[in-house]
Amino acid sequence: MSEQASSYFMANLSPSSENPSPLIEGLKVIRTFHHPAGRGDRDGPCRRTSHESTPPCVIRSRWLEKVDLWAWVQHEITFATTEIVYGLANPYRHSKVDAGFWGFSEGTLPLLMPGIFPMIFAQRALAGRETVIKGMDNYFVCEGYLEGPSLVKTRYLTLKNHALDSDLARFECVNGIAILANTVPTAFWTIFHIFSDPGVLQEVRNHVEAITIIKTMPNGKVRKIDLSRLKDGPILFSAIQEALRVRATGSGPRLVMEDVRVGENQYLLKKDSAVIIAHKALHSDREAWGETAETFITDRFCGRASQQAYRGFGGGANHCLGRSFAMGEIAALVAMMVMRFDLIPTMGNSKAWGEPGQDLSNMALQIAPPKKHVVVDVSPRPDLGGVSWEFVV
């Protein structure tokens, strides 16, 4: 960023500062837009994309062979999310920007290396970042934000007096990390755990079936999933939270505001020191989660579950601003998938779901992607052939 923009965004970040921080105040505005009672777009993301939300590669309801589940989820979540955030002029519609972002996202840590090391060890990330920046810069220069949702429009109009368009393009490039980097693996693992357990799959289908409206139209039957009722049965949202718990790989840094002693051994934490909390340790603590702490239990969050030991979306002042948005988006995707398709694993010669492990190479992620490819055949459910599908709100 330019020196002017950098100084503006970094001003008054110290906890002891008496003046408001532009960055923190901006986050408060974002929180307002995401809150159900806030000023966000009343249409809502699902209403604006109700017909486009079904992934384009499976709309045709035909058998698809050897689909890389991770790559598919990554592409569809990227497209759907950025369409909602940036509107009709969405830069991510260009495949180069899409690919560039994921090249950047998967190599963020090497970019922090000093001197010339990023140019040696992070060439793909550097190139991807520049591709996204060019796409976002063009978005602002061509005033694409004017056709976008009120959030991105308000953010741009608020910041443009303090930064160049090129600065805001860099800011939006990093914003992609916030809206995509952890949403995609969360969606993937939720789909993986639901489809790999026939009993869980049937339970989720029963819930979605109960909130599906069936109408007979001149051109055939239409089945409409009522998104406003997704939470009527907690099993789907519980599955998402459990995926975040079991597959957590990130950490949560905290700044110590004053000297304090914690734990049975009364460890002294000094003021202004940093505490790094490993989410995996919290999420596998048997005192909090019982003997099944390391097992995926789909309905674990249907009742009372430990909140102090759960950091799926962070906590406190650092609670993820877009958690409701992400949960709703993933729930909608999973609801449509379970109703329309069977996923048949085709990994090697086996037709069984195998554990793919997790790729821990990117420490910046809160939930790591699979280590091995998960390849599936996508089969339309035979008992629901010839039916059209829609979302309604």
List, as residue ranges, the binding site. 320
* pLDDT single digits (tens) 223-270: 999 988 888 878 999 999 999 999 999 888 888 989 999 888 899 999
Instruction: Give 93: exposed, middle or buried? Use CB within 10 Å, 0-12, 13-18, 19+.
Output: middle
Phi/psi at 295 (nearest 5 deg)?
-110, 140
pLDDT of residue 57 exceeding 50? no
| Single-letter amino acid code for the residue at 31 | R
List, as residue ranges, the binding site for heme. 320
The Cα 390–Cα 393 span in angstroms is: 10
Q: What percent of the chain has pLDDT over 70?
A: 88
Q: Please, what is the average pLDDT of the chain? A: 85
Q: Which two tokens stand for residue 75?
A: 């592409």
Structure-token match 């909140």, residue found: 307
Q: Which of 104-118, 152-166, 184-198, 298-312: highest mean pLDDT?
A: 184-198
* pLDDT single digits (tens) 311-368: 888 776 667 778 888 999 999 999 999 999 999 998 765 568 999 999 998 888 999 9
Q: What is the mean pLDDT of residues 382-392?
A: 82
Q: What is the mean pLDDT of residues 101-119?
A: 89
**pTM value surpassing 0.75:** yes
User: What confidence tier does 29 reach under pLDDT thresholds 50, 70, 90?
Assistant: low
Beta partners for residue 84, in sequence order? none
What is each CA distance from 42 to 62, 130, 149, 205, in whole angstroms? 35, 34, 10, 29
pLDDT of residue 37 exceeding 50? no
